[in-house]
């Protein structure tokens, strides 16, 4: 499928509107996320590999906040457990429409893929089926702070023994030196990927009210409070990390 470059914040804006996952964002999303999130391709591909170890027969695999379904595609490439199905969920109509198109294209290219359905819904209102794997790939950071514990508790309750939640997030750091260093290095990553100072500044202003990163300590404590027994970080690239949470 054709890859369009992200130029959404390239021209000066009188007032930068809050970031929303609309049609404009969906159109450039693969380019935007690869150039903005260090380690994103490695996290997506290896989420599929990890899922292969946790997936159990006759269970659901959830991709929550699926956007265009990159994680769903990785799950379908790597998971071999019998009679598993992927349930990809997003509340952005533009993302869901394109996600379905991408999955149909994957169906046309490969045989014997896991069945996948894309549901247009708020993940806070889901009635979870018994599940061996749940992924929140850069989605929890967009959920209201007071809703995060409720969502994690529901996920924990849906998880079967031997299953896992894979949680990927941008991190914030309490230590000012660590926060400043990793923020500066993330800026260098964006510049190296062709974003201008104006694009970087306007994007930052667009996401600051809608995307609220937590520290690793907050994530760990909240997961344990939600009933998870153990939290194992498996990937970090600058201020972006991914955790395995075991039921
Ligand atoms: N309450 C909600 N209910 C459903 N979806 C939501 C909600 N809030 C936000 N979203 C959706 O969560 C996604 C977050 S992007 C995930 C990337 C993807 N996982 C990827 O691996 O490519 C991360 C980013 O852009 O940094 C968007 O598609 C939102 O519409
Ligand atoms: O943290 C950032 O600076 C980002 O740009 C992350 C991001 C990536 C894609 C959509 C929204 C936020």
The residue with tokens 């260090």 is 38
Which pairing describes strands 230-237 and 240-246: parallel, antiparallel, or unpaired? antiparallel
pLDDT digits (tens, 9 = 90+) for 92-101: 999 999 999 9
Burial group, residue 166, by CB count within 10 angstroms (0-12, 13-18, 19+): buried
Question: Domain residues for 33?
Answer: 1-247
User: Secondary structure of 2-32 in the HEC alphabet?
Assistant: CCCCCCCCCCCCCCCCCCCCCHHHHHHHHHH
Q: Which ligand is nearest to the CA of 139?
A: 1
pLDDT digits (tens, 9 = 90+) for 209-226: 999 999 999 999 999 999
Q: What is the three-class DSSP state of 110?
A: coil
Gap from CA of 200 to ligand 2 centroid (Å): 10
Gap from CA of 65 to ligand 1 centroid (Å): 4
Cα radius of gyration rounded to whole Å, the chain: 18
Atom of ligand 1 nearest to the CA of 65: 12
Atom of ligand 2 nearest to the CA of 200: 3
pLDDT digits (tens, 9 = 90+) for 162-208: 999 999 999 999 999 999 999 999 999 999 999 999 999 999 999 99
pLDDT digits (tens, 9 = 90+) for 118-169: 999 999 999 999 999 999 999 999 999 999 999 999 999 999 999 999 999 9
Q: Which residues line ligand 2 (CB under 6 A)?
A: 32-33, 36-37, 170, 203, 207, 211
Distance, CA of 147 to CA of 75 (rounded, Å): 27
CATH number of residue 143's parent domain? 3.40.50.150
215 neighbors 172 (Cβ within 8 angstroms): yes
Please tell me the predicted confidence (pLDDT) of residue 195.
98
Number of domains in the chain: 1
Distance, CA of 122 to CA of 246 (rounded, Å): 24
Distance, CA of 186 to CA of 240 (rounded, Å): 9
User: Residues 6 or more apart from 155 whose CB is under 8 A from it?
Assistant: 62, 64, 128, 131, 134, 136, 165, 226
Categorize the per-residue pLDDT at 3 as very low, low, confident or very high, splitting at 50, 70 and 90.
confident
pTM of the model: 0.98
Gap from CA of 37 to ligand 2 centroid (Å): 7
Q: Which two three-digit tokens encode residue 102?
A: 């991408």
Atom of ligand 2 nearest to the CA of 213: 1
């Amino acid at each position: 499928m054709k890859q369009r470059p992200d130029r959404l914040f390239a021209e000066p804006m009188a007032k930068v509107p809050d970031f929303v996952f609309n049609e404009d964002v969906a159109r450039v999303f693969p380019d935007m996320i690869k150039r903005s999130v260090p380690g994103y391709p490695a996290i997506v591909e290896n989420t599929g590999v990890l899922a292969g170890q946790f997936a159990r027969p006759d269970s659901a695999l959830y991709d929550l906040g699926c956007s265009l379904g990159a994680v769903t595609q990785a799950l379908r490439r790597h998971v071999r457990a019998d009679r598993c199905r992927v349930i990809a969920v997003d509340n952005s109509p533009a993302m869901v429409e394109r996600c379905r198109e991408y999955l149909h294209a994957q169906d046309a290219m490969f045989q014997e893929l896991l069945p996948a359905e894309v549901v247009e819904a708020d993940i806070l209102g889901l009635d979870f089926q018994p599940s061996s794997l749940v992924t929140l790939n850069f989605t929890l950071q967009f959920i209201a702070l007071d809703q995060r514990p409720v969502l994690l508790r529901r996920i924990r309750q849906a998880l079967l023994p031997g299953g896992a939640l894979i949680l990927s997030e941008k991190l914030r750091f309490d230590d000012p030196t660590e926060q400043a260093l990793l923020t500066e290095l993330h800026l260098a990553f964006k510049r190296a990927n062709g974003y201008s100072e104006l694009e970087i500044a306007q994007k930052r202003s667009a996401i600051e009210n809608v995307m609220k990163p937590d520290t690793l300590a907050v994530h760990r404590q909240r997961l344990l409070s939600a009933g998870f027994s153990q939290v194992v970080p498996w990937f970090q690239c600058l201020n972006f990390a991914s955790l395995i949470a075991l039921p």
